[in-house]
Amino acid sequence: MMIFNTTFVVAEEIHTAWMQWMRNTYIKEVVMTTPLTDPAFFKVLSKDVEGESYSLQFSAPSINEMKVWEKEHKDRMEQKIREKFGESVLFFSTYLKQLL
């Protein structure tokens, strides 16, 4: 099992709008148009940065689906976040492989 994790830092002034957009638009579009499945959305409890932090994770059965995501979908979906929220939302992504 592979996990695609994105950590977001969201400015407090756009937090509510961002949360609604993520739940109602972004997550649904990823699930419906890409090979990623099983979204899991978490609040990051450590307070190392200003703003609110979140982790969004999607599953993929193998590295092949992750490569499809990266090649065909990742840039497009990240661009949607940048266009909608600009520098008020910072994010980085990591690929995780489940060991246990």
Domain containing 80 — which CATH number?
3.30.70.100
pLDDT at 58: 95
β 2-10/89-97 pair status: antiparallel
Q: What is the pLDDT of residue 69?
A: 85
Please report where in the chains the tokens 């990742």 appear, as a residue.
74
pLDDT of residue 100: 86
Contacts of 26 (CB under 8 A, 6+ apart): 77, 80, 81
Total domain count for the chain? 1
- CA–chain centroid gap for 90, Å, is 11
Q: What is the pLDDT of residues 66-94, one digit of tens each?
A: 888 889 988 999 999 999 999 999 999 99
What's the pLDDT at 43?
95
Rounded to an integer, what distance in angstroms lies between the CA atom of residue 69 and that of residue 55?
A: 18
Whether the CB-CB separation of 55 and 27 falls below 8 Å is answered with no
Domain that holds residue 37: 2-97
